[in-house]
Structure 1
């Protein structure tokens, strides 16, 4: 039982050392992820339409 308490105590010590990102950093990261996701989705959508059209021409 003593080791469990020691573990949680050490976890608390380590968490106090963490440098958490600021709100602005988080917002900027979310924007980058969102924009990247939209761009990839559009590219994949266009490729899907292209390949579907090509398959309809062939078959």
Structure 2
């Protein structure tokens, strides 16, 4: 039981050392991820449409 308590104390001590991001940092990171996801989805959508059109021409 003492090992579990020691482990939890060490976890809390390590979490106190963490430099958490600010709200503005998190918001800007989320914006980058959302925009990147939309751009990649659009590229893949266009690529899919082109490939489907190409397959339909062949068959």
- TM-score tier by shorter-chain length is over 0.9
Deviation at 1:39, TM superposition (A): 0.2
Aligned 1:3-42 pairs, distance under 5 A: 3-42=3-42
Deviating beyond 4 angstroms after TM superposition, the runs of 4 or more aligned structure 1 residues are: none
Q: 3-state SS of the aligned residue for 1:21?
A: coil
State how far apart, in whole Å, the 1-side matches of 2:14 and 2:31 are. 29
What is the alpha-carbon root mean square deviation over aligned residues? Answer: 0.3
Aligned length: 59
Q: Which runs of 5+ in 2 are unaligned?
A: none
State how far apart, in whole Å, the 1-side matches of 2:41 and 2:5 are. 47
Q: Which runs of 5+ in 1 are unaligned?
A: none
State how far apart, in whole Å, the 2-side matches of 1:44 and 1:58 are. 21
State how far apart, in whole Å, the 1-side matches of 2:11 and 2:49 are. 51
